[in-house]
Structure 1
Amino acid sequence: MRKKLLISAAALIVSIPTFAGDYLTNTNQHAAFLRMVARGASIDVDGVYSNPAGLAFLERDGFHLSLTGQSAYQTRGIHANYTTFKGISNGKPELMNANEYYEGTASAPFIPSFQGLYKKGDWTISAGFAITGGGGKASFDNGLPMFNSLVKAGIFQQSVAAGQPIGAEMVTINSALDGTQYIYGAQLGISYKINDWLSAYVGGRMNYVKSSYEGYLKANLIKELGGAELMTMDLDCQQSGWGVTPILGIDAKLGKLNLAAKYEFKTNLNIENKTNTLNVPAGIPDEVIKPYADGEQTPSDIPSFLSVAAQYEILPTLRASVEYHFFDDKHAGMLNNRQKTLKHGTHEYLAGVEWDVIKRLTVSGGFQKTNYGLSDDFQTDTSFYCDSYSIGFGARVHFTQSLNMDIAYFWTNYSDYTKSTDDYNGTKVPGTDTYSRTNKVFGLSLNYMF
């Protein structure tokens, strides 16, 4: 029981995505994505991330610069309905039902990014800096059911062995969990216009991970029984690591139709612990503690990513785009080979349209559908995901021929995920968790050419 309790605590070392994209990948690096969504075949400054090969077809030579700020707010809910232990009746454990709701918030008030390029003839050099994964702080102020249910069961079993049964109604639990994660990405590459209709790109991205996780749990007898301390646990762990992502791209401009593809190779990435506090009940074997001890490393690969897109100019003032993303998550290393429990990698389907209403105003909207390939074994209280669809809309305001601004709002609707088991968090009794999420992102980008 104590071994499973520690493993659950160590599961705090997870990603905290607040944006669109995969488990460790943020695909929205510009407000143009938020307002149109399908930008994989765009020929614009935001193509530094979304379509770097297409930069070779920009009409104007010179510098193109863009600064973006985004604000994201996400909630995570867990409705826990499980069986726990009330006491002993006729020499056998007496059971009771616990119906609890836990909510956490993940916020990123300001996430900046930069994209820029210099074009001269057939050659374009581009660079970007962004939060390419994570990007916020997640807080569960009342803990998580995976801890609380396990602690209640553990205390009951240990107290029965001592001849003084302590049921769930006799215990109060005070717990909280906080985690932050940022993956900083610096990208550099070169695009070349091979002929009038074909261009290519080669580049790479340096990724640096910085995370911190803090949590505590204190279990006591209720005040009416004296309030004695029964169990305590504390975790304060920081992590860091880095890895390089090679990137290739191609773009075919065929009149009104533009076709583009980008492939980001898998990033081999290990994150190293700097553990300031790891207090757990006595008697935990060294082999259990070691993976979370100071200096230990954990695999956290960024999966390979394929983007294929098409954009068509229906009218000189009206454009439509479709796009497909695939993240090869099943071949990206995670803690304890968790990736092997997925049914498949992540599939995303995107579509968008933009319309130049007048010379100085462009309005747009888009849609994205995300299918993660989730399984019960993959989902945990500290790291759960839900299939979703997203809608984005917004506008570009053209102040001058050289200066414009994108402003957009992006909203995601998640499908609840229900996980039922006969051995709820290792307690040997049944239970069900229903996971839910919400997500809202607002973005603004300033774009300048000279």
Structure 2
Amino acid sequence: MNKKILLLVSLFLASTFAFSGGLVTNTNQSTAWTRMLVRDASTGIDAVFYNPAGLSKLSDGFHFSISNQSLFQTQDINSTFPYLNGNDYVGTVKAPIFPSVYGVFKKGKMAVSFGFNPVGGGGGATFDNGLPSMEIPFAGLVPRLSTSLAPLGGSVSAYSMNMFFEGTSVYFGLQAGVTYEVNDWLSLYLGGRYIMAKNTYNGYIQDVKITTPSGVMAPGTYVNGVAGQAAAGATAAAGAVTSIQPLIDANAGAYTFDQLYGAGYITAAQRDQLKGGLLALGVPSATVDAMSALVAQGTYSTFATQLAAAATQLYGTAIYLNGVTADQEADVVQKGNGFTPIIGANISLMNEKLNIGIKYEFLTKMDLVDEVNDLNGVELGFVDGGSVSSTGVFTPTYMFNDGEITNADIPAFLSIGAAYKATDKLNVSVGVHTYFDQAAGWATNEDGNATVDGNFLEYGLGLEYALTDNFLLSVGYLGTQTSATEFYNDDLSYSLNTNTLGGGGAFKLNDRYTVQFGGFYTMYQDATFDKLDAATGIAYTETYAKNTWAVSLGLDISLGKKKTE
């Protein structure tokens, strides 16, 4: 089982759908966030997620927030592997329903809160033409078969196939906790989040064909035909060895074929047949003309042995190719769960003009268990794709196996933010997040290489301006610096530095209801990585690019008394 490939695939969906946040973590968890991008010192209802210790600033009573984001992402992958039919792969990611629900009951110094949201994943990805890592093993058939079959006169000029891949991922979180106001300037929070993770993989690889001098056919069929030709050549060469033996026995082994014909040992037809056989095996004409019967017999014997061995090997290769290029489907579900302890603190200074929020989410230990339907677990390809027994039976090796366990830890992260009331109308917020990726179970791959070289960093600035007592507008910026190394980044799972711009507003209908609206656009910095195909030894590069945009609408409901200063 190739754990490295499986780990990347398992991380693929989680990282693909981490629209904002760390490698596998979503922090876009409210409409207010989409319009501002910094909520780490929030004292609103979405503080349930961003700054739960700040809930002490709410008025006594019940408070609720319901919001949804519709997110859309395009992924562009370019591979320079020379034998691909096309070098560009485009994937679309959609999450039209991305909900966040929060509830708080505040009484005196204490607040009890709960939250429900997709803390990881949350959408579906579709690659109509698959991915380079899925296609390169088949594209590599062209140089591999051309090289290996050339001594036998075989060649491959092209390949074709049909391929499709889609997946979904969601890590739903159920959060609950208690906030306690220690004094006028300090509040503390203790809580946790239960994670329910589910990934699905569906797709197919079909109709793998190669173009040969004999036409378009399945790779195994063509190799089997070449094996048959090699076997026939071995039989013919062995027959020539036998036919020359009487000449050796007659002490004519030192004669050339022309001399044997001139001396009446063989007929012209026999001479031409023996010489023609050597020519067909690639022996130069001048060498054949000068070759004695004894040397010719040894040459035929060598070719007979080599061709027989080649035929045996090619028959096995044909069986193997029939196995790994057969139509196959992916029908896999991965499930797992984990628990995240959460602590927080809120500090209010300068007569509450400055509010500081601190939250720490501990490492979530989590494994995903494979559920494979009808052995549709995706064969691994040509390096680890299976084996052929001595009796000629192909046994595939699958990327996913029912009941297999893969690590999917969610890294711990620390958020520190500050909100400053610069004027009666202007609020300024800043925030910094650190994701402690190096402590996750997947931070080192099976070869001992680090998939991350540090901690993922996120930093942001948000501005909020009240046009009236009931209506405000906001803008925000969020930047990230990824920790992923070349051992993490693959077309299945890659992380890029980003710059995000957001904007929107809020309209207070009355003391109970506030409508939130916003959206954001994320620009990813393209990255190019050097790759090496193990099967062919071909070096190439892959360039990864993305863009994401989203719109959001939410409603905040406060059923408590207005808090007095």
TM-score by length of 2: 0.72
Which deviates more from structure 2 when the two are superposed, residues 406-415 or residues 213-222?
Answer: 213-222
**Paired residues for 1:124-143 under 5 Å:** 124-143=111-130
CA contact (8 A) 1:150 1:425 kept: no
Task: Between 44-53 and 136-145, report the one with greater CA deviation.
Answer: 136-145
1:72 aligns with 2:71: yes
Structure 2 match to 1:283: 387
What is the RMSD of the two structures over their aligned residues, measured on CA atoms? 2.5
Equivalent in 319, 334, 341 of residue 451 of structure 2: 341
- Equivalent residue in structure 2 for 1:359, among 469, 482, 507: 469
Kept after mapping to 2: 8 A contact 1:10/1:292: no
Aligned to 2:36: 36
For 1:32-76, what per-residue CA distance to the aligned partner results, in whole angstroms no more than 9, with x for missing partners? 001111110011101000000000122x11001011111000011
Retained in 2: the 8 A contact 1:182–1:209?
yes
Identify the match of residue 229 of structure 1 among 218, 236, 251. Answer: 218
Aligned residues: 432
Any unmatched runs of 5+ in structure 2? 220-324, 380-384, 560-565
Correspondence list, 1:92-107, <5 A: 100-107=87-94
Cross-structure match for 1:56:
56
2:111 partner amino acid: T
What residue number does 2:144 align with? Answer: 157
Residue 119, structure 1, aligned to residue 110, structure 2: no
Deviations 1:415-438 (A, max 9, x none): 0010123x2365311211110001
Which deviates the most, 337-346 or 285-294? 285-294
Give a deviation string over 1:68-114, Cα, whole Å, max 9, x none: 11100001111111234xxxxxxxxxxxx876111000101111220
Residues 28-427 of structure 1 correspond to what in structure 2 (within 5 A)? 28-58=28-58, 60-84=59-83, 100-154=87-141, 156-158=143-145, 160-162=147-149, 163=152, 165-167=154-156, 169-218=157-206, 219-222=208-211, 226-230=215-219, 231-232=325-326, 233-254=328-349, 255=351, 256-276=353-373, 277-278=376-377, 280=379, 282-283=386-387, 289=397, 292-334=400-442, 337=445, 340-421=450-531, 423-424=532-533, 426-427=535-536
Q: Tell me, in whole angstroms, the C-alpha distance in 2 between the residues paired with 1:10 and 1:426.
A: 20
Q: For residues 368-412 of structure 1, give each alpha carbon's deviation from its aligned partner in whole angstroms, at most 9, with x where no partner exists.
A: 001112322211111112110101100001111110011001110
2:555 to 422, 446, 449: 446
| 1:286-315, Cα deviation, whole Å (9 max, x unpaired) | 999477210011000000010001111111
CA deviation after TM superposition for structure 1 residue 154, in Å: 4.0
CA shift for structure 1 position 235: 2.4
Cα distance in 1 for residues equivalent to 2:133 and 2:182: 56
Q: Distance in 1 between matches of 2:418 and 2:443?
A: 36
Q: CA deviation at 1:31?
A: 0.4
* Separation in 2, partners of 1:69, 1:313: 28
Structure 2 CA distance for aligned equivalents of residues 149 and 332 of structure 1 = 30
* Percent identical residues: 32
C-alpha distance in structure 2 between counterparts of 1:185 and 1:330, whole Å:
23
Query: Which deviations, in whole Å up to 9, do the C-alpha atoms of 1:299-348 show, x marking residues without a partner?
Result: 00000010001111111221101110000111111286378221211000
Bigger mean CA deviation after superposition, 286-295 or 125-134: 286-295
- CA shift, 1:284, in A, is 7.8
Higher strand share: 1
Corresponding letter in the other structure for 1:243:
G
TM-score, normalised relative to structure 1: 0.90
3-state SS of 1:149 partner? helix
The structural deviation recorded for 1:7 is 6.6
Between the aligned partners of 1:39 and 1:432, the Cα distance in structure 2 is: 39
- Unpaired runs of 5+ residues, structure 1, are 85-96
Deviation at 1:267, TM superposition (A): 0.3
CA distance in 1, matches of 2:172, 2:43: 25
How far residue 166 of structure 1 moved from its aligned partner, in angstroms, is 4.4
Aligned mates of 2:357, 2:28 — CA distance in 1: 17
Q: Is the 8 A contact 1:116 1:128 kept in 2?
A: yes
- Does structure 1 conserve the Cα–Cα contact (< 8 Å) formed by 2:5 and 2:399? no
Go from structure 1 to structure 2 and tell me whether the alpha carbon gap of 1:166 and 1:7 turns closer, same or farther (over 3 Å shift). Answer: farther
Residue range with higher mean Cα deviation, 224-233 or 403-412: 224-233
